[in-house]
Structures are given as structure tokens and as C-alpha cells.
Amino acid sequence: MSARVGIVVFPGTNCELDVAWAVERLGGTPETLWHADAELRGADAVVVPGGFAHGDYLRTGAIARFSPVMDAVARFAAAGGPVVGICNGFQVLAEAGLLPGALQKNAGLSFLCEPVECRVETTRSALTALAEPGSVLRLPINHFEGNYVCDETTRRRLRDDDRIVLRYVRNPNGSLDDIAGICSEQRNVVGLMPHPERASDALLGSTDGVVLLRSLLATASEGAAVA
């Protein structure tokens, strides 16, 4: 059975087709979910893709978290379903409280659009289950607000519970502890600033994102088999 991946689309989302393309090539079945719909239509996994949801007005992700689809995503996540937020999707998940902390403006105030190297810090997450621990992946970033911050208690908890999923090898944006991606306590919700879908074909300059998307599809299929 091919895993069904629901891809949430807000007004202003712009990476949904890239994610759908990559998911389909890896054998998954992508399905776009409009933000105003309150159901996930049988998805085995959910991706909140990049873009500028609701114009990023007020703060990135601040308005998106009130879209009806987010209640369904929160219920799905609470039940253990795999949810991945990429770039703006990470910002949405943080605003929605599905992941701790916040993403704020890059140190240096530059919009960054470049490939970066990220180290896989844990394979105990929906996005890294199949990755090699400690391996370095070359993935593109494309953001102005990717500077992860959280309070000291959260920071300690993320470290102690092995919830830092990806770290930048060279910190591009001032992110706390070089954090590029984190996961939830249950390890099924993952947020990351780099775009794995844009590193899923040799023509795009890197295929290092494939192992992450494959991990997501594998986690989704497991869940579907259990359900």
C-alpha cells in the first residue's frame, strides 16, 4: 500500500507542488488539503510545506494556526500520526504549539537562499528513521525567519530527550544550538527549515533529501498498517 501524504495548502503556500512531486516519485500518494477543510481525508502522514501562509502577516505562521485544517492536524498528531513542517510549515507548527519554541528573523537580517550542510543528530524521528546517524546532508534553505529560539528549560529538554533532529554544520542564521530541525516528545511531529523536497533529484543539485522523505513514507506506511 502506498502511503497517502496530505499536503496542507494555505493561501500563500508555494511549495506544495514540489512536495507532491517528490512524494509521488518516491512511491507515495500525495493529496493536497485546503486549509479551510477540517479533515485530512484519510492521510497517513501530513506535510505542512513552505511558502508564506496567510502572507506571513503579524508573524510567520501566526494566522495559519487558526485555519480549520490545523485542528485536524493537531488531532492527527496527538494520535501519533506523522506530521512534518518544512520551512514556513515549521513556523506554523511552532505557532500552533505542536512544536516548542519559535522561529525569528535571521541574525544578520539577510534572506538566505543557499545549500547548507546539516548533520543528522537522531534517527528516532518520523523524518530520519532511515537516515545514517551522524551523516551530513546537503539541503537548500530559503528563509528570512529561521533563527530558532526557545527558553532555557525547553532547550535543555530538547537536548536531554534527543529531540534535536538536524543541526547546521555551519550555522547560517543564528539559530540556537545550530538547530535546523526538532521533533515533538512523541517524535512523530518534526519541523525543519531546510527543504528536503528540493534535494530529491540529481538535477536539483542534491539527492540528500530523499532519505528524509523516504523515512516519512516508511513511518506513514507503518502507521497505516497498524491502523
Partner 1 sequence: MKYEARVEITHLPGIADPQGATVERSLPALGYDNVTQVRVGKSIRLVIDAADEGAARAQVDEMCHRLLANPVIEAYEIELTELASTP
* Block residue for cell numbers 526557545: 150
Catalytic site includes residue 16:
no
3-state SS class at 168:
strand
Which residue, 99 or 129, is less far from partner 1 as judged by CB? 99
Which residue, 5 or 63, is less far from partner 1 as judged by CB? 63
> Measured from the CB of residue 19, what is the shortest distance to partner 1 in angstroms?
26
Chain contacts with partner 1 (rule: CB under 8 A): 58-59, 62, 66, 94-95, 100-102, 104-109, 147, 149-151, 174
What is the CB-side half-sphere exposure of residue 61 using CA atoms within 13 A?
A: 27
- DSSP secondary structure string for all residues of 41-55: TT-SEEEE--B-GGG
Burial class (CB in 10 A: 0-12, 13-18, 19+), 123: middle
Catalytic site includes residue 143:
no
Separation between Cα atoms, residue 18 and residue 21, nearest integer Å:
5
Catalytic site includes residue 185:
no
Q: Which three cell numbers stand for residue 209?
A: 533529501
Q: Which three cell numbers stand for residue 86?
A: 518544512
Q: Which three cell numbers stand for residue 105?
A: 528573523
Q: Which of 87, 118, 150, 183 is catalytic?
A: 87
Which residue, 151 or 161, is less far from partner 1 as judged by CB? 151
Which residue, 104 or 215, is less far from partner 1 as judged by CB? 104
Q: Which helix (H) or strand (E) holds 31?
A: strand 29-34
3-state SS class at 39:
coil
> Measured from the CB of residue 63, what is the shortest distance to partner 1 in angstroms?
8
Q: Which residues are catalytic?
A: 87, 195, 197
